[in-house]
Structure 1
Amino acid sequence: MSYSDMRRAAAHLPVTISSAILPGSLWGCYDAANDVILIDRRLTYTAKRCTLVHELLHWRHGDDGCSNDRSKRERRVRRQTALMLINPVELALLERMYDDDLWSIADELNVTMQVLEDYRAILYDTSPNK
Structure 2
Amino acid sequence: MTNPLPISPRMSYGQMRHVLSTAEPDLHVRSAQLPGKLDGLYCLSTNTVLIDWRITYTRKRCALVHELVHWRHGDDATHGCIGGRNERRCRRETAMLLINPAEYALAERMYDGEPHQMAAELNVTIQIIQDYRQWLHDNVTV
TM normalised by structure 2 equals 0.84
Which of 124, 128, 131 is the aligned partner of 1:118?
A: 131
1:17-64 CA-partner distances (Å, limit 9, x unpaired): 000110000110001011111000011100000000010111111112
Identity %: 52
- Count residues in correspondence: 128
Consecutive unaligned residues in structure 2, runs of 5 or more: 1-10
Q: CA deviation at 1:70?
A: 3.5
Q: CA deviation at 1:69?
A: 7.4
Which of 24, 29, 49 is the aligned partner of 2:41?
A: 29
Which of 8, 18, 21 is the aligned partner of 1:8?
A: 18
**Letter of the aligned partner of 1:117 in structure 2?**
Q
Q: CA deviation at 1:93?
A: 0.9
Counterpart in the other structure of 2:116: 103
2:86 equivalent to 1:63: no
> Greater CA deviation, 87-96 or 110-119?
87-96
TM normalised by structure 1 equals 0.92
Name the CA shift for 1:112/1:69 in 2 (closer, same or farther; >3 Å).
Answer: closer
Structure 1 distance, partners of 2:44, 2:19, is: 20
Name the CA shift for 1:6/1:125 in 2 (closer, same or farther; >3 Å).
Answer: same
Name the CA shift for 1:102/1:19 in 2 (closer, same or farther; >3 Å).
Answer: same
Compute the RMSD of aligned alpha carbons.
1.8
Counterpart in the other structure of 2:55: 43
Structure 2 distance, partners of 1:112, 1:8, is: 22
Contact 2:75/2:82 (<8 A) preserved:
no
Where 1:26 maps in the other structure, the secondary structure is coil
Contact 2:107/2:113 (<8 A) preserved:
no
Counterpart in the other structure of 1:19: 31
Structure 2 distance, partners of 1:124, 1:5, is: 31
> Greater CA deviation, 9-18 or 69-78?
69-78
